[in-house]
A and B are shown apart, each in its own frame.
Chain A
Amino acid sequence: MGFELEGVGLIHDNGFRALGRISLRADRGERVAVIGPSGAGKTSLIRLLGTALRPSEGRLEILDANPWRLSAGALRRLRTRVGTIHQSPPIPPRQRVVTAIHAGRLGRWPAWKGLLSLLYPVDIAGAQATLARFDLADRLFERCDRLSGGQLQRVGIARVLYQQPDLILADEPVSALDPALADAALGELVEESVRRGASLFASLHAVDLALKWFPRIVGLRDGEVAFDLPADRVTEAMLHELYAAEGDTLPVQARDAATCAARARSSCN
Chain B
Amino acid sequence: MSNRDPAARARLGWTLVALALLWPLLVLAEFRPWALFEPANLRVMGGFLAGFLPPASSPEFLGLLLRATLETIAIATAGIALALWLAAPLAILCARALAVSRIGPGPGRLGGEVVRAGGRAVLAFLRAIPEIVWALMFVRVLGLGPAAGVLALAITYGGMLGKVYTEILESTDTRPARAILEAGGGRFAALAYGLLPNAAQELTSYTVYRWECAVRASVIMGFVGAGGLGQLMDQSMRMLNGGEASTILLVFLALVLFADALSATLRRALA
| Chain A residues within CB distance 8 Å of chain B | 50-54, 68, 70-72, 75-84, 86, 90-95, 99, 102-104, 106-109, 111, 114-115, 118, 163, 165
Report the separation of the CA atoms of residues A77 and B271 in the bound assembly, to the nearest whole angstrom: 35
A68→B104 contact, CB < 8 A: yes
Q: Which residues of A contact B186 (CB under 8 A)?
A: 76, 106-107, 111, 114
B198→A77 contact, CB < 8 A: no
Q: Residue B85 at the A interface, CB < 8 A?
A: no
Within the complex, the shortest CB–CB distance from A96 to chain B, in Å, comes to: 9
B183→A114 contact, CB < 8 A: no
Q: Which residues of A contact B194 (CB under 8 A)?
A: 90, 92, 103
A84→B193 contact, CB < 8 A: no
A77→B184 contact, CB < 8 A: yes
Q: CB < 8 Å: which of A51, A82, A95 contacts B193?
A: A95
Q: Which residue of B lies closest to A108 (CB)?
A: B184
Contact mask B177-197 → A, CB, 8 Å, 1/0? 011111111101110111001
Given A92-B197, A94-B198: A54 and B104 interface contact (C-beta under 8 Å): yes
B180→A84 contact, CB < 8 A: no
B107→A75 contact, CB < 8 A: yes
Q: CB < 8 Å: which of B104, B182, B193, B200 contacts A114?
A: B193
Q: Point out which of B100, B105, B183, B271 has the most chain A C-beta atoms below 10 A from its C-beta.
A: B183
Q: Which residues of A contact B190 (CB under 8 A)?
A: 106
B185→A106 contact, CB < 8 A: yes
Given A90-B178, A111-B188, A114-B189: A52 and B173 interface contact (C-beta under 8 Å): no
Within the complex, the shortest CB–CB distance from A108 to chain B, in Å, comes to: 7
Given A72-B101, A114-B193: A50 and B182 interface contact (C-beta under 8 Å): yes
Given A106-B193, A115-B188: A72 and B179 interface contact (C-beta under 8 Å): no
| Chain B residues within CB distance 8 Å of chain A | 100-101, 103-108, 173, 175-176, 178-186, 188-190, 192-194, 197-198, 200, 270-271
A106→B198 contact, CB < 8 A: no
A to B CB contacts below 8 Å, 24 in the list: A51-B104, A51-B182, A53-B104, A54-B104, A54-B106, A72-B101, A76-B186, A78-B184, A79-B181, A79-B184, A82-B183, A86-B179, A90-B175, A90-B178, A90-B179, A90-B194, A92-B173, A94-B270, A94-B271, A99-B193, A106-B183, A106-B189, A106-B190, A109-B189
Report the separation of the CA atoms of residues A244 and B166 in the bound assembly, to the nearest whole angstrom: 47
A103→B107 contact, CB < 8 A: no
A70→B107 contact, CB < 8 A: yes
Q: Which residues of B contact A71 (CB under 8 A)?
A: 107
Q: Which residues of B contact A86 (CB under 8 A)?
A: 175, 179
A84→B101 contact, CB < 8 A: no
Q: Which residue of A lies closest to B195 (CB)?
A: A92
Q: Point out which of B108, B189, B198 has the most chain A C-beta atoms below 10 A from its C-beta.
A: B189
Q: Which residue of B lies closest to A102 (CB)?
A: B193
Apart from A52-B182, A79-B181, A90-B194, list 8 A-B contacts with CB within 8 A: A70-B107, A72-B100, A79-B183, A90-B178, A92-B197, A103-B180, A106-B190, A114-B186
Q: Which residues of A contact B105 (CB under 8 A)?
A: 54
Within the complex, the shortest CB–CB distance from A60 to chain B, in Å, comes to: 11
A84→B192 contact, CB < 8 A: no
Q: Which residue of A lies closest to B107 (CB)?
A: A72
Report the separation of the CA atoms of residues A53 and B103 in the bound assembly, to the nearest whole angstrom: 7
Report the separation of the CA atoms of residues A104 and B184 in the bound assembly, to the nearest whole angstrom: 9
Report the separation of the CA atoms of residues A91 and B197 in the bound assembly, to the nearest whole angstrom: 9
